[in-house]
Chain A
Amino acid sequence: MSAGPLFDARNLTKRFQGLTSVDRVSFSVSAGEILALIGPNGAGKTTLVNLISGMLAADDGELRFEDRRIDHLPPFRRARLGIGRSFQVMKPFPSLTVLDNVAVGALFGRRGGARSRTAAREQAHELLTFTGLGLHADRRADALGGPDRKRLELAKALALRPKLLLLDEVMAGLNAVEIDEVVAVIKRIRDSGVTLLIVEHVMKAVRILADRVIVLHHGEVIAQGDCATVFEDPRVIEAYLGKRRN
């Protein structure tokens, strides 16, 4: 293995006409850690995820994955290198079964995945058990309820056997019990050797999971460090709550 970080972003910038959504953002992710990306609505978190997964092309800056430049690779190549993602606005394959939704990832993900549909379905079965969807394997994806759809997003992203997994707000809209379940699943994902970058608004989950936190505000990194330091940072409090009087 190389000595450098698993993933590294340098001066990443994305402009939408006049608006600079991501402004010279630099950070790196080390193998094995959970990095949380937080920030108020509109801070550019999802844009950043889209830049990393390749859905959007950066206007400026460099992206490295395992010491290799990836900025010019299309999304499917980055997925095959081992960058998996979930979508904040969930994107199941609606008319396929839950099992086949996950099998697609096993068929096309990182090299060494399943070659046949049968083998892919076997791998998919394991992941469904892992994410707690085992009983729903044969249902159509569009028949699933909200929390199960979140689990499906997770299972699909895991199916391509990522080294780096980007999770975009997988806990939004879940109740306390469901959040605990997803937190447990994410811990198990980390323990299986996957590095995670999570975008999250549920601070309870961030406190439990994150080794490190990056705070984004108006497209810029305003703070980074461990949870305790970041949550005490006056700039972070200001970004979320506004300026303290006097």
Chain B
Amino acid sequence: MRRPWVIAFVAVTTVAIALVPVFGSAVLIQYGINALIFATLAQSWNIIGGYTGYASFGNSVFFGLGAYGTAIAMTQFGLPFWAGLPLGALLGVLCALLLGLPVLRLRGHYFAIATLGLSLAVAAILSNLEIAGANIGLILPLTRADGMFFELALALLVACVLCVWWISRSRFGMGLIAIREDEDAAAAMGINTTLYKTAALMLAALFTSIAGGIYAYWITFIDPASAFDPTLNVRMVIMAMFGGPGTVLGPVAGALVLSAVYEVLANWISTAAALLFGLVIVLSVIFMPRGLFALIGGIRRHGPGYLLQNVRQHRL
């Protein structure tokens, strides 16, 4: 991000994407909203998973809470979307604070497993709450304004990328990276690890839950199964890892590329799409374990041999 041409490229691309609702087809806009939301989810995961090194499988909880917070505010209390969305975000961030303090004490696989259980637990709680529509779910007021949803999703993604860019350059971000690299050493260097980890999780929750709120209003129907879908979290992780965790643009590129690949596969050969998608993931893990961005740098330095080098280095 330091070189000016990268910033120029990102700015031009952003403007071009912002113009899609003006010139693009309805299908393209629909695809775009979905891809932009996924890019935000992958980028949010990058804050806690990529920079801080905590592989969270609880981000789908924040997504679901953002969706439900917005939906409850709109359907049960008759609030407008602009009031519901911040309420959903507040719910997600509070949840990150309350869950983060105990769960972030766990490290490595234990953290991953503990967070994996969370989305199932929260889904079970909500499916028993009358105010959340219990098992049936909630139907939000219908709005046919895909252009607005598109620009909203894009604005959220831009905010999220700017936040990660700031992290990549700031003292705060250096603290997160140190925690990822070695948490005990980070504490011995004077880093308040508990505070930093919790703040990272809350930041991830903020963007994830806003994305959930936008998604709920766009789709107009949510139930526990769709709002707290654990496979949603798996996709965030895959997209971030595919693009390059711990980089500013990697997760966004990963999300946009993988969304496109999936869409194309689903159009051509609808039945085998998921299978081929899985194949793409496996191949990319083998040949580019550090993501798209490392791949570009690696090929520039070592030529196509970089791919084989990865295979050799990781003893596959």
CB pair B174 A109 closer than 8 Å: no
Q: Which of B171, B185, B187: most chain A CB closer than 10 A?
A: B185
Q: B122 at interface (Cβ–Cβ under 8 A)?
A: no
CB pair B187 A75 closer than 8 Å: yes
A93 to B169, CA, bound (A): 17
Q: Scan residues 138-190 of chain B and give those whose CB is less than 8 A from a CB of chain A.
A: 169-171, 174-175, 177-178, 181-182, 184-190
CB pair B188 A75 closer than 8 Å: yes
CB distance from A56 to the nearest CB of B (A): 11
CB pair B191 A117 closer than 8 Å: no
Set of chain B residues within 8 Å of A79, measured between Cβ atoms: 187-190
Residue of B nearest to A115 (CB): B171
A53 to B190, CA, bound (A): 11
CB pair B181 A76 closer than 8 Å: no
CB pair A160 B189 closer than 8 Å: yes
Q: Scan residues 81-111 of chain A and give those whose CB is less than 8 A from a CB of chain B.
A: 84-85, 87, 91-96, 100, 103-105, 107-110
Interface size on A, residues (CB 8 A): 33
CB distance from B291 to the nearest CB of A (A): 13
Q: B193 at interface (Cβ–Cβ under 8 A)?
A: yes
A109 to B177, CA, bound (A): 16
Q: Which of A74, A75, A115: most chain B CB closer than 10 A?
A: A75
CB pair A80 B190 closer than 8 Å: yes
Residue of B nearest to A116 (CB): B171
Q: Which of A74, A96, A107, A120: most chain B CB closer than 10 A?
A: A107
Set of chain A residues within 8 Å of B174, measured between Cβ atoms: 100, 103-104, 107-108, 117, 120
Q: B190 touches which one: A92, A100, A108, A116 (CB < 8 A)? A: A108
Q: A143 at interface (Cβ–Cβ under 8 A)?
A: no
With A76-B187, A108-B191 given, is the CB distance from A96 to B181 under 8 Å? yes
Q: Scan residues 4-41 of chain A and give those whose CB is less than 8 A from a CB of chain B.
A: none
Residue of A nearest to B178 (CB): A104
CB pair B175 A108 closer than 8 Å: yes
CB pair B187 A74 closer than 8 Å: yes
CB distance from A83 to the nearest CB of B (A): 9
Set of chain B residues within 8 Å of A96, measured between Cβ atoms: 177-178, 181
Interface string of B181-212 (1 = CB under 8 A from A): 11011111111111000000000000000000
With A103-B174, A107-B171 given, is the CB distance from A92 to B187 under 8 Å? no
Set of chain B residues within 8 Å of A54, measured between Cβ atoms: 187
CB distance from A6 to the nearest CB of B (A): 18
Q: B185 touches which one: A80, A93, A107, A115 (CB < 8 A)? A: A93
Q: B169 touches which one: A100, A105, A108, A117 (CB < 8 A)? A: A117
A209 to B194, CA, bound (A): 37
CB pair A93 B181 closer than 8 Å: yes
Set of chain B residues within 8 Å of A217, measured between Cβ atoms: none
Set of chain B residues within 8 Å of A116, measured between Cβ atoms: 171
Q: A212 at interface (Cβ–Cβ under 8 A)?
A: no
Set of chain B residues within 8 Å of A110, measured between Cβ atoms: 190
Set of chain A residues within 8 Å of B194, measured between Cβ atoms: 74
Residue of B nearest to A113 (CB): B190
Q: B182 touches which one: A93, A103, A157 (CB < 8 A)? A: A93
Set of chain A residues within 8 Å of B190, measured between Cβ atoms: 76, 79-80, 105, 108-110, 160
Residue of B nearest to A103 (CB): B174
Set of chain B residues within 8 Å of A95, measured between Cβ atoms: 181
A74 to B196, CA, bound (A): 14
Q: A45 at interface (Cβ–Cβ under 8 A)?
A: no
Q: A144 at interface (Cβ–Cβ under 8 A)?
A: no
Residue of B nearest to A75 (CB): B187
Q: Which of A55, A74, A76, A117: most chain B CB closer than 10 A?
A: A76
8 A-B contacts (beta carbon < 8 Å): A75-B188, A79-B187, A80-B190, A91-B184, A91-B185, A107-B171, A117-B170, A117-B174
